[in-house]
Structure 1
Amino acid sequence: MSERAVDQHSGWRTRKGFTFILPPQPGTTLSLIHSFALLKIMKKILFVLPVLCLLQSCKEELIEKPKAVAVETFYNTASEVEAAVNAAYAQLRAVNGITGQLGAQLEAYTDYSYGRGSYQVLSDFQGLNSTNIPRTDDGWRLFYLSIRNANLVIQNAPKGASISKADVTKYVAEAKYLRAFAYFWLVRNWGGVPIRTEAQLNEPNVKRNTADEVYTLILSDLKEAEANLPDKGAQVGRATKWAAKAALAEVYFTRNQYAEARDKADEIIKSGAFSLVPVTTATEFDTKIFGPTVVTSTEEIWYLKETRQNDQGMYLAMFAHHPGSKLHGAGGFYAHYSDTQTNPVIKSWDDKDLRKSAFWYSWDIGLGKTSILCKKFSDPIAATSTGAGNDFPVYRYADILLLYAEAASRAGNGPTAAAVEALNQVHRRAYGKAPVTASDVDFKLADYTATTFSDLVLRERGYETQYEAKRWLDLKRLGTPKLKEIIKAATGKDVADKHLFWPIPVSELNYNTAIVPTDQNPGY
C-alpha cells in the first residue's frame, strides 16, 4: 500500500489505510490557503478565483464567507461526513498524544523501565513537575479536540440532505466510538472530567463530572458503536464492530466487571476473525507485527495508523532509541532505559523468550554496560523525529487473549482450561512455537490458583504489551495497594497518591467557570 505525500497547508492527511481532510470547525478562522483547499473539496461550494483575489480586499471575503457556508453545508454527503469523522482520528494520532509524548510519560511509570532526562522525575513516582505538566495539558487538549470533532458529526450528520440513513447511522456510530475512546483515556488518567457532548457543543462552562458518569457515557457510546459499526472497515484503520467489542472488554476489565470483560473478549476469540501472527525468530516481531512497513496483520483489531511523514508518524519510537544505534532515522532521545541486572522484571525474564531480544538491545548510555533500550518500534529510515512509520497498537489479538485469560480466572475464582489456553497461545508464540498447538512451554492448569494465575497473566501482559502505553493503566486497575507493591518491588520507589492522576490544566480552571479550584486533583 503506497503512502502519498502530505500537504501540510491544505488540511490533507494521508495514512496507511485512508486519506482524509480536516473539515471546517466553528469558531475558527481559516487561512486563505486552507479556505481555498476546502473550496476545491466541497462540491457544493464553487467559486471562480480571478487574479484580483490575491488582493487584501478580496482576501477577507475568501476567509470569512467560505467559513460560514462550509460549517452549515459540509455534512451533506457521505464523503463529507466521512472527512469530518476522520478529523476526530487526527487528534488521537497527534505527536503529543498517546503515540508520542503521553505514551512516553506512561512508559516512564512502568516496572520494567526508567525515565531519563526530563522523564527521570516520572520514575520517582512523586507526581509531575513544571516540565511534564504542559505535556499532559496538551494531551487533555487533544482528547477534547477529538471529542469536539466527534460531537460535530453526531450533531450534524443526521441533518445531511444527500446522505443515506444507513451512512448516517454508521458514521455517527464511528464518531461515538472515537468519543468514547477519548473519554476512556481522560477518565483513567485524570479521573472525573467535564462531559461535553453534542448537546453542550458551544457551552464553555461545564462542570466536572464523576468518573462513574463518564463511564456511563463511554459504555453507552460503545454499545451503540458495537451495534452499528461494520464487521470490516472500508479502509484499514477505521473503527469496526470488533474494535468496539475490544474497547468494551477493556472498559469492563478496568471497572473490575470481569464476567462482562470475559464474555466480550470471548466474542472476539470465537468469531475467528483474528489470529496471532506466527513467528520463529525475534526479527519477525519487527518484520511481521510491529515494523514500519507492516500495513496490517491478522492480529490487528484497531491501530492508530501512522506514516513516514513529519508530524504524521509515531513519535514514541524516537524516545526509545540512542542515535548511535541507527534504529531511528532521525536519531533518538533514549528517554527511557532498563537494566539487565538491576531491574527485576528484565533480570527474571527468560532469555529464550524471543520478545526479550526482539524488544530490547544493549547500549551503554553512561550508566554501565548492563543498560538496555527498547527497540520494539524502530524505523531506521524515518526522516524526522515525528515520522516513524510504525502503527500504534490500541487493540490487538494478543491483548484480547491475555485479557480473556485474566478476566475468566477472576470471574470464576480460578483459572479455567480456556483461560490457560488463551494465555498459552501468546506464550507459545513468544517462544517461536505455533500459537494454537500444544508445546513444551505450556503452562498447566493444575499448577495455578486464582492468585498465582492472575499474577502469571499480569507478568505475561507486562512482557507482551511493552511500549503500548498499557502497563501503568493495567497496574492502576488492580488497585492502589497492588500498584504500589509492584512498583516498590521493581524500582524501590514509593508511589505518591498525587501520582495516580494528572492535574487538570490551569487553562481549564481559568476559563471554565463551572469548575472551581477544589475540583483540581489532589497534590496540584
Structure 2
Amino acid sequence: MLNPGKILLCLTLLVSLGACEDALEENPKFIVVENFFNTAEEVEAAVNAVYIPLRGTNYTVYETTLECQADYAYGRGSWTPLHEHKGLNDANITRVAGLWNAFYLSIRNANLVIANAPNGTSISQANIDKNVGEAKFLRAFNYLQLVRNWAGVPLRTEANMTQNDLRKSPPEEVYTLIVADLLEAEQKLPDQASRVGKPSKWAAKTLLADVYLTLGQYAEARDKADEVIKSNKFSLVPVQSVSDFQTKVFGPELVSTSEEIFYLKYTRQVNQGNYMLWITNHPSTNLFNFGGAYVVYGFTTESFYKNWDSGDIRKALWQPVNIGLGANTLISAKFADANAISQQGAGNDDPVYGLNDVLLIYAEAAARAGNSVTPEAVEALNRVHRRAYGKVPASPSTVDFKVADYTAATFIDRVIQERAYEFLYLGKRYLDLKRIGKVKEAIKAVKGIDVADKHLLWPIPVSELNFNEALDPATDQNPGY
C-alpha cells in the first residue's frame, strides 16, 4: 500500500499550485497527478489524505470551540472569551482561522480526488464511484462546518481549485453544493463501508438528514432519517452504568460499534489518538493517564445540571472536580483511556454520527413536518432515552414518554433537550441553539449575557482576505471583526 505520508506530501504540493502556479512548470504538476491517481490503491490513498486535516487536533479543537459557546459550558484560559460572547480575541481568532484552513485543505484534497480519479488508467468504474462518492461526502461535511460558522464562504470545487480569487458565495449556494454532493455520495457509496471509518451510503443519508434539518426541510429530513432507521443496520449499544458508556460506547479499545455510522477513527499511537481527552480532563480524575488541560467545564449550580434527572446515567458522565473554582465545577468523564500513550495518543474514536443522531433527527423533523406528535417520533426519542436509563433501547420501559403528554411544540423542546444530554462535549449544542434561533435566550437564561448578532459568526481569516483578491475586507468580513 502507498505510504499515506507520501501521498499527503504530493497533495500538499498540489495545494500550493493555486498560489504559485506561475512559478512552477506544468510538467512536474502533470507527473504528480499521473503518479497518484491511476490505480484503486493510489486513489484510495488520496482519499485518505482528505481525512488528515480533520484528524489530529483540528476537529477536536473545533468541537471544543463550539462547546465553550454553549449555554451549559465555560472555557478556561485562552478559551474564556468564547463563553463570554463578546467576540473573539486574538487567540481565538487565530484558533478559528486554523479551523478554516483545515476545512479548506480537506476540501482541496477532496477536489483532487473528484477531478482526477475518473481519469485513472488502471481502476474500475466501481472503484472510481466509491472513491468519488467518499470525496464528495467529505467535501459536503467540510462545507457544512464552514457555512454553519462563517455563513457565506468561497466555494472551491474541482472546477476552480487552481483559481485564487473567488467571491464569497451566499449560504444558499453553499447548501446547494452540499446537498448535490450528498445526493451523489448516497448513490455512489457502498451499502457496507469498505472498511471501518469509511462512510457508507447510510452515512450519506444521515448527513443529508442533518443538512435538511438545518435547512428547515423537515419532511425531507424525516424521510431520510427514516430510511436509515428502517434499514435495521444499526442498533444502540445497551448500557447499565457510567463504565458501560465509557467502555462499550466510547471505549478506547473499540474497533466499531453497532450504532456507529460515521466516526473519526483514532488509535493508541503517538499523534494518532483522540486529543479530546487531554482538552477536557483534569489530572485528578484518573480517566486519562497524561493529565489534562480541563479547558471546558460546567457548574453543578446551574439549571442545566440541576434539572437533569439523576436517574439518567449520562448525568454522571459529568464529574464534580475542583479545578480551582470551587467544588461545584464539572468536568467531562465521557471519554476515558488510562492506557493512552501520549497527550494525543488516546484510542477513543470521535462519534460524529451514530444511530442516536438519526433517531433524534427523525423525532424532531417528524414533529416539525406534521406539526404533531406521532407514535413513531415518540418511539425514536424513547429509544435514546431508554438507553440513558439503562433500559433495553428497543423495548417499552417505565421511563417512556407518552404521545398524549405532548403538543408538537413541547415535544420538540423535549427532543432538543435530549440532544443536549446525548451529545454533551461533541460540539452540537451551540449549533442546535443557532439552528432553532435560541442562542440569545439560552445564554441569557444561564449566564446573564446579552449575545449580539455579530457574535453568532466567526471571522473570515485575515490570511484569506489577503490571499483572495475577490474578497473585500471592508464588505466581506463578517460583522464585528
* TM > 0.5: yes
Equivalent in 160, 164, 173 of residue 133 of structure 2: 173
Aligned mates of 1:107, 1:183 — CA distance in 2:
20
Note if contact 1:26-1:71 (Cα within 8 Å) is conserved in structure 2: no
Against the structure 1 CA distance between its residues 510 and 29, is the aligned structure 2 distance closer, same or farther, given a 3 Å change threshold?
closer
Map of 1:49-128 to 2, 5 A cutoff? 69-95=31-57, 97-98=58-59, 100-128=60-88
- Offset at 1:472? 0.7
Equivalent in 363, 382, 399 of residue 321 of structure 2: 363
Number of the residue aligned with 1:265: 225
Note if contact 2:4-2:49 (Cα within 8 Å) is conserved in structure 1: no
Aligned mates of 2:410, 2:7 — CA distance in 1:
50
Number of the residue aligned with 1:213: 173
Q: Does 1:354 align with 2:313?
A: yes
- Offset at 1:216? 0.4
Residues 245-282 of structure 1: CA deviation (Å, up to 9, x unaligned): 00000000001111110000000000100011011222
Aligned mates of 2:13, 2:197 — CA distance in 1:
29
Number of the residue aligned with 2:339: 381
Q: Does 1:24 align with 2:32?
A: no
Number of the residue aligned with 1:406: 364
Note if contact 1:339-1:371 (Cα within 8 Å) is conserved in structure 2: yes
Q: Does 1:511 align with 2:470?
A: no
Note if contact 2:15-2:108 (Cα within 8 Å) is conserved in structure 1: no
- The one-letter amino acid of 2:105's match is L
Number of the residue aligned with 1:61: none
Note if contact 2:4-2:45 (Cα within 8 Å) is conserved in structure 1: no
Cα RMSD for the two superposed structures: 1.8
- The one-letter amino acid of 1:511's match is F
Q: Does 1:252 align with 2:212?
A: yes
Q: Percent identity?
A: 56
Q: Does 1:145 align with 2:105?
A: yes
Structure 1 segments, 4+ long, off by >3 Å, are: 10-13, 26-30, 64-68
- Offset at 1:22? 2.6
Equivalent in 426, 446, 457 of residue 490 of structure 1: 446
Note if contact 1:23-1:84 (Cα within 8 Å) is conserved in structure 2: no
TM-score by length of 1: 0.87
Helix, strand or coil for the counterpart of 1:24?
A: helix
Aligned mates of 1:429, 1:21 — CA distance in 2:
42
Helix, strand or coil for the counterpart of 2:138?
A: helix
Number of the residue aligned with 1:292: 252
- Offset at 1:176? 0.6
- Offset at 1:503? 0.3
Aligned mates of 1:77, 1:406 — CA distance in 2:
44
Larger gyration radius, structure 1 or structure 2: 1
Aligned mates of 1:463, 1:146 — CA distance in 2:
30
Aligned pairs, how many? 470
- Offset at 1:179? 0.6
- Offset at 1:65? 9.2
- Offset at 1:496? 2.1
Number of the residue aligned with 1:344: 303
Aligned mates of 1:26, 1:296 — CA distance in 2:
30
- Offset at 1:491? 2.0
Against the structure 1 CA distance between its residues 335 and 207, is the aligned structure 2 distance closer, same or farther, given a 3 Å change threshold?
same
Unaligned runs of 5+ in 1: 1-9, 14-19, 31-63
- Offset at 1:334? 0.8
Aligned mates of 2:472, 2:431 — CA distance in 1:
27
Helix, strand or coil for the counterpart of 2:298?
A: strand
Note if contact 1:186-1:193 (Cα within 8 Å) is conserved in structure 2: yes
- Offset at 1:29? 11
Structure with higher helix content: 2
Aligned mates of 2:95, 2:238 — CA distance in 1:
37
Q: Does 1:446 align with 2:432?
A: no
Residues 272-309 of structure 1: CA deviation (Å, up to 9, x unaligned): 00011011222100110012111110100000101122
Residues 303-362 of structure 1: CA deviation (Å, up to 9, x unaligned): 010112232221122111112223222210111111112x210111111111111x1112
- Offset at 1:487? 1.7
Q: Does 1:431 align with 2:389?
A: yes
- Offset at 1:170? 1.4
Q: Does 1:456 align with 2:418?
A: no
Note if contact 2:367-2:408 (Cα within 8 Å) is conserved in structure 1: yes
Aligned mates of 1:127, 1:318 — CA distance in 2:
26
Against the structure 1 CA distance between its residues 72 and 420, is the aligned structure 2 distance closer, same or farther, given a 3 Å change threshold?
same
- The one-letter amino acid of 1:197's match is T
